[in-house]
Chain A
């Protein structure tokens, strides 16, 4: 288990480096997918399996459509991957930076920060994340209504920003 979680954490950092090093949108979307999937694995390792499932379905299901459209809009004949010089510089800088910070925190951090949720309590039917969902639907009803309103607002904002052929300053076409 330790090996798998360590692998996931390494993959998370590398996936984020792959996004942040500014390659072409195809490859950046790939890096984001890797980071998201591996991040869900990390959440499982910390005991949030339901949360991880929700994140995986919603994020990779919903956002990938957006990624596909934006990658199609920004299509280019020779996309820059991580091997090209302009991107490789960022990759090296970010990797070295992450290693430096990891060396800085090497001794005291990693053992104590890995506490699986609900691990030290007595036997219980509900894990932390599922009871959190129940709390969200009972006590957090007002917040849920606000969130639903924000989603509706976002729909209107996006429609308003992208409407019209003649006035679309945001479009690439």
Chain B
């Protein structure tokens, strides 16, 4: 792609998210979301492979549907209540429709089906943009409209997302699909706590972005798309292989790692709010997710061939990829747990 065009597309990607952040009017927020969708489409289709084009078409259709639903709901709210402000979304019809539309944009459980298919057709870096930067604008809207949404809908969506995210990823061999299901499960946790502690939602989103960026960049460095290629990737970079196991366990939410922080705080908050059943269900469904993270760890680092190895580590040449972002973000994905008191103090909404 021409670098000038790429510059225009990437800056518009930034512009869309920032417009949605800055808007208090539904029309401007909708424009920001549409700019976001429009700007990423050529980036998704730049491989010009039939799978990439298919993924792009699916993404465009779902995002356009969701944006049209947002526009419809805000217009309905303006008609019934006479108010265009994002905060003033008060009619139940409008709030429920907006919530469903945002769930479709993010890929939450009842309307999640596009996410694994789309992510599977993309390059890893584009998938990284899709599962991090593209989540920000819908989440900003969701946090703003959260107080008026029916809370049983949110809890049902959250629990269903964690369940489906764990369950759907169980039998996958394609890493991008596994990451997509991991995204669904993490978004379920965020939506579960949305009405009770929005700052925890934000914290959870930031930590998910850090961890999944680390996973995507690792896969990009190893150039691996399936579990099979992951199993032989330790020969390329043994240190990275050892750290990747920890990153995956951090995504699964095991205690000494960063990924434990959001799960711990969310479970604590749910228990405090008198929702022990939801907390238990969420914790149980996280075990399903943990299973496929563990399988990835097992294939990558915890096992070796039962006979003599016929291959050794290849000759080390200079790395052409820039590895500084990967190393920084891996450190963040592994070691943020001791900072929990500082983070919870700083992140208040």
Contact = CB atoms under 8 A, between A and B. Distances in A.
Query: Are A and B a genuine interacting pair, yes or no?
Result: yes
Interface of A: 143, 146-147, 149-150, 152-154, 156-157, 160-161, 164, 167-170
A157 B35 contact: no
Dominant SS among interface residues on chain B: helix
19 contacts: A143-B28, A146-B28, A150-B31, A150-B35, A150-B38, A153-B8, A153-B12, A156-B8, A156-B42, A157-B38, A157-B39, A157-B42, A160-B5, A161-B45, A169-B45, A169-B49, A169-B50, A170-B45, A170-B53
Given A146-B31, A149-B15, 9 more contacts: A146-B28, A149-B12, A150-B34, A153-B12, A154-B38, A160-B9, A160-B45, A161-B45, A169-B48
B41 interface: yes
Interface string B277-313: 0000000000000000000000000000000000000
B19 interface: yes
Contacts of B339: none
A153 B1 contact: no
Given A154-B38, A160-B1, A167 B19 contact: no
Size category, B interface: 20 to 34
Contact of A161 (B12, B35, B42, B49): B42
B38 A169 contact: no
Contacts of B42: 156-157, 160-161
Nearest to A150: B35
A147 B248 CA distance: 42
Contacts of B38: 150, 153-154, 157
Interface of B: 1, 5, 8-9, 12, 15, 19, 28, 31, 34-35, 38-39, 41-42, 45-46, 48-50, 52-53
A153 B53 contact: no
A146 B45 contact: no
A105 to B, nearest CB: 14
Contacts of A157: 9, 38-39, 41-42
B19 A146 contact: yes
Contacts of A156: 5, 8-9, 42
| The 10 nearest A-B residue pairs measured at CB | A167-B48, A160-B42, A169-B53, A153-B12, A157-B42, A169-B48, A156-B8, A156-B5, A157-B38, A161-B42
